[in-house]
Amino acid sequence: MAIVVRIDVELARRKMSVGDFAERVGLTPANVAVLKNGRAKAVRFSTLEAMCRVLGCQPGDLLEWVPDEVSGADVLGG
């Protein structure tokens, strides 16, 4: 997956539990787990805004784009 979710890093920095975070954002702990584990297909801007408000961070602190590894065949054009 090219998008890495870093919610766990921000929670650890603030010593905040998933349950407390979920309650403050308005999500279920199960939905937070889906986001944390990178299994979500989409995130609403309103949810991203709430997560940033609760954590006092920017969207880029929670989401990072990482390019897929380029295979040798791709580099060689084959």
Query: Is there a domain that residue 74 lies in?
Result: no
Q: Quick count: other Cβ atoms within 10 Å of Cβ 24?
A: 14
**62: domain range?**
3-68
Specify the DSSP class assigned to residue 67: P
Q: What angle do CA 40, 5, 71 make, to 5 degrees?
A: 95
pLDDT of residue 77: 55
- Asked whether the predicted pLDDT for residue 73 surpasses 90, the reply is no
- Asked whether the predicted pLDDT for residue 76 surpasses 80, the reply is no
- Asked whether the predicted pLDDT for residue 60 surpasses 60, the reply is yes
Query: Is there a domain that residue 64 lies in?
Result: yes
What's the domain count of the chain? Answer: 1
Confidence band for 1, pLDDT divided at 50, 70 and 90:
low
Prediction pTM value: 0.81
- Asked whether the predicted pLDDT for residue 29 surpasses 60, the reply is yes
